[in-house]
A = this chain, B = another copy of it.
């Protein structure tokens, strides 16, 4: 009985959130750039003013999380301090400074009969963002949705509940100061997981797009249950293939950076593939540099024969996103072998080739079917900021709408505008 009451009240809450989002969507879609920026800048100020409250809420979250056994990287992502708050405020100001994609004409042409056709960017509508316990996502995702003219429904992880509420309260003050509706960026005010179920069901058609940001289990739940379109951020089992025609210095630099710059990001390399035709000269400097950088190596038999210090790779290593200082290493039969390996074990996120041979590079770039393919560059460049998008809500690894970094433009769609002068069709 209690459970039924609880479920009913979560359902009512989500229905009300959906109604407010749908009502806000056309308002925010048509809001001027100035008004949206005013909201973002006022939210930034509100966060600066409320620093003490936000940090107190976050301390409460962290204490609860520690009591519940949360530790390590997860606890670290949850924790806020003055520096991180300054980063959140800075991100709001950066988004305010970015060009507004809404209204941009992406294509236009005139038909022989004189009809003028254009494709104009418009917001997608209502975007639900489901994320784990990273309080900053509350602000980042809200800011990107607002600037791109979309209404946002934010559902953060339960461990960051108090922090997210405190941050969202500042965002709400920013919206109010700019005269924008509170429904434009809403935070789901419950940790009840039933709320996620309603979002995944699409809130009776109120949700135009679901963006999951989080680990494997969250993405798996979204993929299994979502009844609305998803712009997915799968795990990144990223590869660097070092070809027989690689420049060895570039190869060492790229492999070490791709793995070790920040081993925990989704664009970090998890596997290095070495061309078997030059394994004996290529592997030793790469293996040595990885080890010196503090990376553990799980290698196949061919590499272990050269380098017995490595641990043996098991089958599951080829599909593992370590998110840490471990790399799988294997020999492949040239670029074709690398392409096959990536097709089999990759997650269509980001894969790189290191070679001085333009034909080999062209083949790799054409045949590896990932959202991002790279030549002579570190997979750690898989990032909206590094792409010059200004900011990103994540990396899309699906096939539709947008692939790779999802920035402001990728959070829009288009409408077709046709202008005539009394034109009728024959």
Contact B403 A401 (CB under 8 A): no
Contact B420 A377 (CB under 8 A): yes
Whether A83 sits at the interface, judged by CB under 8 Å, is no
Contact B422 A413 (CB under 8 A): no
In the complex the two chains form, what is the Cα distance from A115 to B377 in whole Å?
8
Interface residues of A in 357-414 (CB under 8 A from B): 361, 365-367, 369-378, 380-381, 386-388, 398-401, 403-405, 413-414
Contact B415 A369 (CB under 8 A): yes
* Closest Cβ–Cβ distance, residue A319 to chain B (whole Å): 15
In the complex the two chains form, what is the Cα distance from A129 to B356 in whole Å?
43
Q: Give the number of copies in the complex.
A: 2
Contact B370 A415 (CB under 8 A): yes
Interface size class of A (residues with CB under 8 A): 35 or more
The DSSP consensus for interface residues of chain A is: mixed
Contact B369 A425 (CB under 8 A): no
Contact B117 A424 (CB under 8 A): no
Do A420 and B366 form a contact, CB below 8 Å, given A111-B386, A381-B425, A399-B413? no
CB-CB under 8 A from A11, the residues of chain B are none
12 more CB-based (< 8 A) A-B contacts, given A369-B415, A386-B425: A30-B367, A111-B386, A111-B388, A125-B399, A250-B421, A261-B425, A370-B415, A374-B419, A375-B418, A400-B400, A401-B401, A404-B416
In the complex the two chains form, what is the Cα distance from A296 to B421 in whole Å?
27
Residues of A within 8 A of B (CB): 26, 29-30, 109, 111, 115, 117, 122, 124-125, 208-209, 229, 247, 249-250, 253-254, 256-258, 261, 343, 354, 361, 365-367, 369-378, 380-381, 386-388, 398-401, 403-405, 413-425
CB-CB under 8 A from A421, the residues of chain B are 250, 376
Task: Determine which of B261, B388, B399 lies in contact with A424 in the assembled complex, contact meaning CB atoms within 8 Å.
Answer: B261
Contact A423 B376 (CB under 8 A): yes
Contact B388 A117 (CB under 8 A): yes
Do A369 and B250 form a contact, CB below 8 Å, given A375-B418, A378-B423, A413-B399? no
